[in-house]
Structures are given as structure tokens and as C-alpha cells.
Structure 1
Amino acid sequence: MIGLTTHILDLTHGTPAENVKIKLSRIGHESETEKQLLQTTFTNQHGRVDRPLLEPQEIVPGKYELLFYVGDYFLRKGLTLDKPLFLDKVVVHFGISQPNSHYHIPLLISPWGYQVYRGS
């Protein structure tokens, strides 16, 4: 499999995180503030997106950013959380060096912490 995929697991409730907004951007060569929005999507009932964030023909070497809107998700779950939220958005910067590979980025979340890694 080639491309970019992700999924989100809610550690607080022990379930996949459904309906989380995700933005994927490519970071510019010259400046990390230069970003090209490639896609905005939402997770499905399994905490995954319905199609890869980058299909095999779209994946190119470079720097990327995933922006996960976890604060909105936890507020919809009805949790009583202090404002401002401790975690509102999770930003993950990563690089793609091998365009013929599969990049899978799982995100494990709670209102107070997260873990991200390159999965398989």
C-alpha cells in the first residue's frame, strides 16, 4: 500500500474518535509558515477517513502538517472541560522521504494528552 492515512482513537472513552475535523497541508520549501491546504476531511465512525489523505499518485517528498481539531470533538462528547481547553488542536509536522511507501499516522487522544507515531 502506498499513500498517507490516519486514524484517531479516543483513550478517554475507549472508542474510535468519530467526526473529528482534520486538515492536511504541505509546508513550503522556504518557510514553515508557507502552507498549501491540500484537504479538509472528517473521521468516520471507525476514527478513520473514508479515503487516503494522499493517494499513491499524490504523494511526493516534502514536509507536511496534519491539524486535528480534538477540542471540538471532546466538547461534543459532553465532557466538562475548563476553558480555554488544555488541548484544542493537535498539530503534527512530519516528512515524507519515500513516496513509494505507506505513511500511516495514528493519533491517540484524551483532553489532556496525545500520542502520535508512524504506524503500519
Structure 2
Amino acid sequence: MAGGISLHAVDVARGVPAEGMRVELYALRDGQRGKLAESRLCANGALDHPVVGGAGVTAGVYEAVFHIGPWLRAQGVGAAEPAFLEEAPFRFTVTDVDQHYHLPLKFTPWGYSLFRGA
């Protein structure tokens, strides 16, 4: 896939995709934080939004925010309110708009890993 930003989340403690987790994607420009996308992840834990195909993506700094705490509570996992992890922000830079930036989140109620995947 060429161009675009995809977000994907998996609860690795239970081995399930984070279907329904709310995610936001912001473009950070000139000290301003502009929302590019906000959605809930699909059944496979992936974002289904035009930004995945490159809509609105330009070179620059972005921040993805994964709302872990509310999702865990909705799953009945027993996360307190507030949870140990309420949100997982991930700030990254798009340097080549022709490349695809796949950003998977692997998480448990106590920690997470965010990286650029293939």
C-alpha cells in the first residue's frame, strides 16, 4: 500500500484485536494541533478511515492517540477509572508521503509498544 497512515491495536494480554477502541490522529503544524481523523477501530483492530489511503496526509509531524482505558473498561477487563493507562499517545514524522506509515499498538492493561510496522 502506498501513502497513508494506518493505525492498528491488539490486546496482547488476551490475544484480541481492539475492536471499538477510539483513536484520534492529529497533524501538528505551526504549534497547532489539528484533528485529521477520529474513529473507532474495526473488528480486526484496524482504522477504517480515508487517511489510511493518504487523504489529507502531508509531510510533517503527527500524533496518534489510542484510548486504552475506556476500551478496557468496556471489555470488562477491570481497569479502574482512571486506568493505569488511559491514553497512549504516539508522535511521529511523515517524511515521504509516498510511503505508507503503519502504526501498530500492542498493549496490556499495564504497558504498551508502539512502532512503525510493515
Return the TM-score normalized by structure 1.
0.90
Q: State the distance in 2 between where 1:108 and 1:23 align.
A: 17
**Aligned to 2:95, which of 94, 97, 100?**
97
1:10-21 residue pairs with structure 2 within 5 A? 10-21=11-22
Task: Check whether the contact 2:69–2:82 (CA below 8 A) recurs between aligned residues.
Answer: no
Report runs of 4+ in structure 1 exceeding 6 Å deviation: none
Could you say what secondary structure the match of 2:85 adopts? coil
Q: Which runs of 5+ in 1 are unaligned?
A: none
Query: 1:65 corresponds to which residue?
Result: 63
1:1-120 residue pairs with structure 2 within 5 A? 1=1, 2-29=3-30, 31=31, 34-120=32-118
* Structure 1 vs Structure 2 CA RMSD: 1.4
Deviation at 1:52, TM superposition (A): 4.7
Q: Percentage identity across aligned positions?
A: 29
Equivalent residues, number: 117
Q: State the distance in 2 between where 1:57 and 1:19 align.
A: 22
Q: Which moved more, 1:40-49 or 1:57-66?
A: 57-66
Q: Structure 1: which amino acid aligns with 2:33?
A: K
Q: State the distance in 2 between where 1:83 and 1:50 align.
A: 28
CA-to-aligned-CA distance 1:28-77 (integer Å, 9 cap, x gap): 23x2xx20011111101100122353433522100001011110110011
Q: State the distance in 2 between where 1:57 and 1:8 align.
A: 21
Q: Which runs of 5+ in 2 are unaligned?
A: none
